[in-house]
């Protein structure tokens, strides 16, 4: 089976603190991978290393046939790996539509600084793409609202929509449903997954909610103490007693949690 992303012996240390170690993963195209783990298990460090935010201390990251280890994030992004953030990285001073226009125009001006000087921000092509993205992510009702005023769910969607503007092959979502009300989490993920449908994108998402992982992931990576301790289907990973003990806890269904809240 071909791989779009291959991670070999990846590790990261901050001085004496080892945040990630001996991570070996092969990701086939189009797979949707859920990444679970307790706080401090190394999930975000892993995402940060793949996307160039952190330089690995050891190991290699292959994207298709390209060694992307330690490359700057902008270069990795241009190659086709995009990401969203736990705290959405949007432009609060701009409206939702202006945010999308900026993202699509940047994607359009892919030939370096000269292209960025020569390409206008608003062209019929980029504006149409921005409009389409706003509709696809169902945030059209916020089109002219300043991003600073958006509710958290819309901020998350905008962040993901902007990450997708460059038509990436791999998308990493860092806790896409964090800070979202329980009853809205599935709606948000439904919107995201439907937007990703038929786009040929491989997705890795970090998530604490096991119901979300179970529902949307084809495969689950369980992180503990900086390394992957389980890698398999959602059912086999989430029902693994060791994973339950170390990470997910005894399984509580969403309906039960909602009932508790009620």
Nearer to another protein (CB atom), residue 9 or residue 110: 110
Nearer to another protein (CB atom), residue 131 or residue 225: 131
**Six-digit token string for 91:** 């432009």
> Mutual orientation of helices 96-108 and 124-136 as an angle, nearest 10°?
130
Measured over the CA atoms of residue 20, residue 242, residue 205 and residue 256, the dihedral's sign is negative
- Tell me the three state secondary structure of residue 260: helix
Q: How far is the CB of 54 from another protein (least distance, A)?
A: 13
Q: How far is the CB of 184 from another protein (least distance, A)?
A: 23
Nearer to another protein (CB atom), residue 129 or residue 185: 129
Question: β-strand 202-206 against 32-37: which pairing, if any?
Answer: parallel
- Tell me the three state secondary structure of residue 159: helix
Q: How far is the CB of 34 from another protein (least distance, A)?
A: 21
Q: How far is the CB of 87 from another protein (least distance, A)?
A: 10
Q: How far is the CB of 42 from another protein (least distance, A)?
A: 20
Nearer to another protein (CB atom), residue 73 or residue 244: 73
The CA angle 129-130-133, to the nearest 5 degrees, is: 85
Q: Measured between alpha carbons, how far is 216 from 159 in angstroms, rounded to an integer?
A: 19
Contacts of 176 (CB under 8 A, 6+ apart): 84, 156, 160, 188, 189, 192, 205, 207
Nearer to another protein (CB atom), residue 1 or residue 117: 117
Residues making contact with another protein (CB under 8 A): 51, 53, 72-75, 77-78, 82-83, 85, 89-94, 98, 101-103, 105-110, 113, 115-122, 159, 162-163, 165-166
Nearer to another protein (CB atom), residue 121 or residue 257: 121
Whether residue 67 contacts residue 60, with contact meaning beta carbons closer than 8 Å, is answered with yes
Question: Which is nearest to 36 in space by CA: 253, 248, 192, 203?
Answer: 248
Q: How far is the CB of 220 from another protein (least distance, A)?
A: 25
> Mutual orientation of helices 124-136 and 152-164 as an angle, nearest 10°?
140
Q: How far is the CB of 229 from another protein (least distance, A)?
A: 29
Nearer to another protein (CB atom), residue 87 or residue 252: 87
């Amino acid at each position: 089976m071909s791989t779009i992303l291959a991670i070999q012996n990846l590790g990261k240390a901050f001085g004496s603190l080892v945040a990630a170690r001996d991570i070996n993963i092969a990701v086939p195209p189009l797979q949707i991978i859920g990444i679970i783990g307790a706080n401090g298990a190394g999930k975000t460090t892993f995402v940060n290393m793949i996307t160039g935010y952190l330089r690995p201390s050891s190991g290699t990251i292959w994207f298709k046939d390209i060694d992307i280890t330690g490359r700057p994030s902008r270069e990795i992004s241009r190659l086709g790996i995009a990401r969203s953030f736990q705290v959405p990285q949007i432009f609060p001073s701009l409206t939702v539509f202006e945010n999308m226009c900026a993202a699509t125009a940047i994607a359009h001006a892919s030939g370096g600084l000269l292209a960025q000087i020569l390409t206008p921000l608003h062209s019929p092509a980029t504006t149409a793409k921005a409009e389409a993205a706003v509709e696809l992510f169902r945030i059209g009702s916020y089109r002219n609202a300043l991003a600073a005023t958006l509710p958290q769910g819309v901020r998350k969607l905008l962040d993901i929509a902007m990450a997708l503007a460059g038509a990436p092959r791999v998308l990493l979502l860092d806790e896409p449903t964090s800070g979202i009300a329980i009853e809205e989490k599935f709606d948000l993920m439904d919107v995201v997954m439907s937007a990703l449908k038929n786009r040929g994108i491989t997705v890795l998402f970090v998530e604490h909610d096991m119901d979300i992982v179970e529902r949307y992931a084809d495969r689950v990576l369980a992180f503990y103490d900086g390394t992957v301790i389980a890698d398999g289907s959602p059912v086999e990973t989430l029902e693994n007693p060791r994973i339950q003990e170390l990470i997910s806890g005894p399984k509580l269904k969403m309906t039960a949690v909602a009932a508790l809240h009620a």
